[in-house]
């Protein structure tokens, strides 16, 4: 028997055992290194002004589920709240970008956006935002911005009511001021004609197609009498019986706060019926019916009225694009502890 070959075999076995023992350590190191790289990549994107779908993966891993649960509870309590939360994100982004400025109460230094004409006695859901924010602060203090909360809540509201889902890009920070005048100048009123709507959305970097798709959010929610009064009494591009039925609850004078469904067919389901209503001249707002009134948007309305999948796809694309309007990132702004006031 060759003693050298026996010794060699023992030596090789020892080396194999060492390699096997080192494998778990190497795998563990690679795993944790990968986590660090992913987290660093998300932080770097935000620092460079780019939003990331993984922004809170390491800093607040429960953020998305906390918002989702809060939204679901709020809509279960009041179905209308889904449309209200979606609208908050839209009205926030259209005024100096998606920075949570809409949520700020008035201070001695500025008059906020809540009392601006498009928002006064109209935008709602602030208490829901407060509740969700409190839970986020309990889970991960000073991490999740109010602006991001609105973006996530808008998506989750849409999904809860039967609409599409999309990956929300995150990493926005909150503004330290708000502007009533900017809100009144930037948010298109319900009296807008098609050219004004196109211009208003173009000013935010959104195309006509984006505008028509985003208008589909009016497939859910309600509007006040003051928003559609002129349309039902003075416009001719409206179904006569539809107008008369609305005139019964919304007289020429009074009942300003009476509500009507934006989508008379399925007001609490996110679907294509909004566009189908327009084809029948049953858009509640003047600005709604302008999308189908012999103009450049007619073809898109026709398409969305026939194809739910395409509407959902284009709505999702437009929501992501809108959510990227001038976000504050890096060291700009702050992460508000209370969405109603600056830290």
Kindly list the catalytic residues. 91
Alpha-carbon gap, residue 314 to 164, rounded angstroms: 10
Q: Is 266 within any annotated ligand binding site?
A: yes
Q: Is 101 within any annotated ligand binding site?
A: yes
Q: Is 107 within any annotated ligand binding site?
A: no
- Pairing relationship of beta strands 222-224 and 259-261 according to DSSP bridges: antiparallel
Q: Which of 175, 195, 196, 174 is nearest to 187 (CA)?
A: 196
- Which residues pair with residue 260 across a beta bridge? 223
DSSP state of 170: B
Q: Is 271 within any annotated ligand binding site?
A: yes
Task: Tell me if 263 sits within 8 A of 162, measured CB to CB.
Answer: no
Task: Tell me if 65 sits within 8 A of 135, measured CB to CB.
Answer: no
Task: Tell me if 173 sits within 8 A of 148, measured CB to CB.
Answer: no
Report the 3 state secondary structure along 127-154.
Answer: HHHHHHHHHHHHHCCCCCCHHHHHHHHH
Q: Is 188 within any annotated ligand binding site?
A: yes
- Which residues are within 8 A (CB) of 301 and not within 5 positions of it... i.e. 6 or more apart? 212, 275, 278, 279, 291, 292
Alpha-carbon gap, residue 159 to 204, rounded angstroms: 25
Q: Is 286 within any annotated ligand binding site?
A: no
Q: Is 131 within any annotated ligand binding site?
A: no
Task: Tell me if 169 sits within 8 A of 179, measured CB to CB.
Answer: no
Largest CA distance in the chain: 113
- Which residues pair with residue 259 across a beta bridge? 224
- Which residues are within 8 A (CB) of 112 and not within 5 positions of it... i.e. 6 or more apart? 101, 102, 104, 105, 106, 178, 179, 180
Q: Which of 224, 221, 246 is nearest to 233 (CA)?
A: 246
Q: Is 61 within any annotated ligand binding site?
A: no
Q: Is 28 within any annotated ligand binding site?
A: no
Q: And the tokens for 94? A: 């259209």
Could you tell me which residues are annotated as the binding site for Ca(2+)? 92, 95, 97, 99, 101, 113, 219, 263, 266, 271
Could you tell me which residues are annotated as the binding site for heme b? 218
Could you tell me which residues are annotated as the binding site for substrate? 188
Could you tell me which residues are annotated as the binding site? 92, 95, 97, 99, 101, 113, 188, 218-219, 263, 266, 271
């Amino acid at each position: 028997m060759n003693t050298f070959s026996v010794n060699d075999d023992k030596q090789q076995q020892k080396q194999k055992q060492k390699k096997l023992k080192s494998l778990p350590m190497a795998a563990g190191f690679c795993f944790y290194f990968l986590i660090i790289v992913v987290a660093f990549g998300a932080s770097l994107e935000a620092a460079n002004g780019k939003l990331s779908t993984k922004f809170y993966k390491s800093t607040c891993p429960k953020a998305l589920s906390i918002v989702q649960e809060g939204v679901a509870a709020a809509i279960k309590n009041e179905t209308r709240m889904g449309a209200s939360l979606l609208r908050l994100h839209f009205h926030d982004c259209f005024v100096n970008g998606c920075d949570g400025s809409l949520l700020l109460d008035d201070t001695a230094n500025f008059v906020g956006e809540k009392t601006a004409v498009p928002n006064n006695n109209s935008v709602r859901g602030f208490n829901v935002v407060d509740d969700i924010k409190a839970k986020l602060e309990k889970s991960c203090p000073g991490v999740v911005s109010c602006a991001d909360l609105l973006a996530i809540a808008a998506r989750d509201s849409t999904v809860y009511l039967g609409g599409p889902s999309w990956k929300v890009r995150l990493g926005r920070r909150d503004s330290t001021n708000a502007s009533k005048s900017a809100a009144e100048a930037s948010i298109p009123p319900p009296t807008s004609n098609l050219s004004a709507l196109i211009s208003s959305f173009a000013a935010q970097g959104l195309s006509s197609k984006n505008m028509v798709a985003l208008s589909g959010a009016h497939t859910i929610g309600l509007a006040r009498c003051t928003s559609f009064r002129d349309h039902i009494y003075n416009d001719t591009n409206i179904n006569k019986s539809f107008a008369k039925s609305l005139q019964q609850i919304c007289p020429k004078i009074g009942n300003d706060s009476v509500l009507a469904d934006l989508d008379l067919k399925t007001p609490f389901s996110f679907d294509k019926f909004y566009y189908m209503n327009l084809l029948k001249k049953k858009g509640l707002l003047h600005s709604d019916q302008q999308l189908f009134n012999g103009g450049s948007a007619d073809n898109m309305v026709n398409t969305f009225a026939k194809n739910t999948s395409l509407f959902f796809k284009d709505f999702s694309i437009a929501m992501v694009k809108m959510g990227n309007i001038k976000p504050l990132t890096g060291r700009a702004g702050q992460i508000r502890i209370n969405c109603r006031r600056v830290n």
